[in-house]
A and B are shown apart, each in its own frame.
Chain A
């Protein structure tokens, strides 16, 4: 993958990835702001509002008809968190110009559409979002928070994170809370919109086959009216290790139990050892060759699923299992045994498999425009944007000693159990 980075203004970059092998182009605006209790819901509300209407498209139907006329282009607003940054994204997937049945450029129309939505929202005479629109978007946001609870895997992971990172911004839900959503006003939404434009770190990614110069000019022009006041994002709170294990058991009406283990990782996000930590995590609980899959799931049948995930930007590893209550304590001690096994250097075969597996997975990023776009925007808070090829080279260079060293940087912080009411009876 090759990319060209152009600065539009302070803290705003265009990342152009020129490729001509796809049928579609991806265009996305990604905004990163510090994850804060008082702002999370308002920020999420703002990106939602921007995705529905604008001055040029004053109702949802006119916007959706415009997208349909652009050969079924799809528009999506998403909210996520990366380390302790809240990430708001508004993006379009659209057909490449070569398939246009008339001479219009689909890509450029989509860029124009996005800037219309982001820079010229539909506001009332007082310069606020309209009350009806705010009310409707608050409903959508509240439903997103509720619907997260429907998926028990997401639910239990969130509960474990709330317990583990209690005093840290990372515990804040990406959408905020139901109470916060309830209290939001039209004025809050406008301030949040201004925050996105004026304070956020912004990455605009365009993946595809198009005229990047005219897009760059269009964007520079759009940002010329914005009074930027950008400050670099704060570093995430770093806790190198913990002294005692936090434990929680929650009983609800589920058929199958879930178990989450949270580990602190004594390694900062920009450390040169992070590629080895990614390998460690993959060997521990990544692919089917991993220690947890092969032993805890397959050999010992303690869990239906059991996998580990490394969050580099928050220096933690979370393990998720589907597990019955009677097996939970056994599963916890077996997971810790597997960690000891890696500390002791018993992972030659797994390392070999992991190197091949990660290499394959990273290279396949190049085969889908939406994955290329995600690859870039996931690095919005990093100083340097790495290509998949750079990551593959780092992966190839990881040594066994480094992985062993990484295993020793983990301490268990939290054990969260979600169990069924029935098992208690």
Chain B
């Protein structure tokens, strides 16, 4: 068990390599009333083609299967997981993203019982032909529901413009047609590959001790066989698939997503690059930037405007989104401002102000037990350590930022997606 401290944050956590193969992180928080636990696997909607180290060939699976599996794991032969949590008082949930599936709970009392339930149901799958068929109907409804959510549609339509082959362009839950191809056998294949404890991590934050967590893991987890997973993504060209798309819904305020496809230097982005890019976005389009204030005063955006460095295995993009009566005009202003920064460089004073502001925001992340626990998932699967980013905010220079700026936000690779009512 390793203890990792940050004097600056006045926090410490424990990192444990459990004998089962699972990586465990525990951050005790004094005087907190509750604990938050998240158990995750590096497996998401983009993992549709993979090869196990004990197999010779790649397996291709239907789109949406990671999310489907998440739903199904809550069931077991007798009591489902929600019914079991109902006896401990914990509130439980799960989510599937592009590259991660996580199961979580928060509780004030009966922590060890709830952790037992979490470890137990995630490590004991139970699927039959009948339960799979029933779920196809339920998830079909969930997929349909998102077709009415403007922000969701706007983002996914943008990803379809930016990516030609990479599965990040498909809906996390798949489509009604793709999930119809899912069978209990396919679910077991995916489960046995990606829910190997060597591919997973557990993070617990709150009123707990590492000893409590380890004792439950010792009791519940068996040693997993060593397994390596090779993931395959079709070659993704540098070019984008399209420049513009519009989708119509019954609504009042148009919603847009405007994105730049970036070149992936390596399958995953290192933490330095992430911090540098976030600083650039804040300087360019944060609330204290010229761009944000001028767009706001011209009536082109409102406080729903946001920007994101959107990254994962084999994909990397910068996305601006929000509501606007004139999305095209917003894009033109963003492009003009990027060109101005690239030409003139970055003002020292602004750089320092933004760095100080983001440094503060980074510390603020350490309030909430859920954001810390999910932060462990990001750092673990991203291949860096939790406290590293705070250090980088302190040491990054204006020259680093300018160099990074010269590599990104190329107008040739940008696209716009709009969702509005029919005219």
> Footprint of B on A, CB under 8 Å?
21-24, 59-61, 64-65, 67-73, 93, 95, 98-99, 101, 136, 139-140, 143-144, 146-147, 149-152, 252-256, 287-289, 301, 304, 322, 324, 349, 352-353, 356-357, 359-361, 363-364, 366-369
Contact A288 B82 (CB under 8 A): yes
- Which chain B positions have C-beta within 8 A of A23? 9, 363-364, 366-367
Contact A69 B250 (CB under 8 A): no
- Which chain B positions have C-beta within 8 A of A99? 360, 363
Stretch at the interface among B84-92, B95-103, B381-389: B84-92
Beyond A23-B366, A256-B148, whether A61 also contacts B293 by CB under 8 A is: yes
Beyond A24-B367, A64-B288, A152-B148, whether A146 also contacts B89 by CB under 8 A is: no
The contact of A143 among B31, B91, B253, B363, by CB within 8 Å, is: B253
- Which chain A positions have C-beta within 8 A of B142? 304
- Expressed in whole angstroms, the Cα–Cα distance for A324 and B137 within the complex equals 12
Contact B109 A359 (CB under 8 A): yes
Contact A367 B34 (CB under 8 A): yes
Contact B357 A68 (CB under 8 A): yes
- Expressed in whole angstroms, the Cα–Cα distance for A152 and B299 within the complex equals 25
Contact B251 A150 (CB under 8 A): yes
- Expressed in whole angstroms, the Cα–Cα distance for A95 and B206 within the complex equals 20
Q: Which B residue sits closest to A323, measured CB to CB?
A: B141
- Expressed in whole angstroms, the Cα–Cα distance for A252 and B358 within the complex equals 43
- In the complex, which of the residues A65, A72, A352 has the most CB atoms of chain B within 10 Å of its own CB atom? A72
Contact A68 B367 (CB under 8 A): no
Q: Which B residue sits closest to A360, measured CB to CB?
A: B89
- Expressed in whole angstroms, the Cα–Cα distance for A254 and B153 within the complex equals 13
- Expressed in whole angstroms, the Cα–Cα distance for A356 and B92 within the complex equals 13
- Expressed in whole angstroms, the Cα–Cα distance for A216 and B88 within the complex equals 42
Beyond A21-B30, A359-B108, A360-B107, whether A256 also contacts B249 by CB under 8 A is: no
The contact of B360 among A71, A149, A151, by CB within 8 Å, is: A71
Q: Which residues from 133 to 155 on chain B have a C-beta closer than 8 Å to any C-beta of chain A? A: 134, 137-138, 141-142, 144-145, 147-150
Q: Which B residue sits closest to A106, measured CB to CB?
A: B360
- Which chain B positions have C-beta within 8 A of A324? 141
Give min CB distance, A387 to chain B, whole Å: 12
Q: 12 extra interchain contacts, Cβ-Cβ under 8 A, other than A289-B86, A301-B138?
A: A61-B293, A64-B292, A95-B364, A150-B150, A150-B252, A288-B86, A356-B87, A356-B88, A356-B89, A356-B109, A360-B34, A364-B108
B359 within 8 A of A: yes
Contact A360 B250 (CB under 8 A): no
Q: Which B residue sits closest to A96, measured CB to CB?
A: B363
Contact A21 B29 (CB under 8 A): yes
List 10 A–B pairs whose Cβ atoms lie within 8 Å, in order of A's numbering.
Answer: A64-B287, A64-B292, A69-B353, A95-B360, A99-B363, A140-B303, A356-B86, A356-B110, A363-B33, A367-B33
- Which chain B positions have C-beta within 8 A of A151? 149
- Expressed in whole angstroms, the Cα–Cα distance for A98 and B360 within the complex equals 12
- Expressed in whole angstroms, the Cα–Cα distance for A118 and B82 within the complex equals 47
- Expressed in whole angstroms, the Cα–Cα distance for A367 and B141 within the complex equals 35
B334 within 8 A of A: no
Contact B138 A149 (CB under 8 A): no
Contact residues of A: prevailing secondary structure: helix
B361 within 8 A of A: yes
B53 within 8 A of A: no
Q: Which B residue sits closest to A148, measured CB to CB?
A: B252
Count contacts between A and B, CB distance < 8 Å: 173
Give the B interface residue count (CB, 8 A). Answer: 70
B106 within 8 A of A: yes
Contact B206 A143 (CB under 8 A): no
Give min CB distance, A79 to chain B, whole Å: 13
The contact of A60 among B144, B150, B293, by CB within 8 Å, is: B293
Beyond A150-B150, A360-B108, whether A287 also contacts B91 by CB under 8 A is: yes
- Which chain B positions have C-beta within 8 A of A140? 302-303
Q: Which B residue sits closest to A369, measured CB to CB?
A: B367
Q: Which A residue sits closest to B250, measured CB to CB?
A: A253
The contact of B367 among A22, A149, A304, A356, by CB within 8 Å, is: A22
Contact A253 B249 (CB under 8 A): yes
Give min CB distance, B105 to chain A, whole Å: 10
- Which chain B positions have C-beta within 8 A of A139? 299, 302
Give min CB distance, A355 to chain B, whole Å: 8
- Expressed in whole angstroms, the Cα–Cα distance for A151 and B85 within the complex equals 31
- Which chain A positions have C-beta within 8 A of B244? none
- Expressed in whole angstroms, the Cα–Cα distance for A136 and B85 within the complex equals 49
- Which chain A positions have C-beta within 8 A of B253? 143, 146-147, 149-150
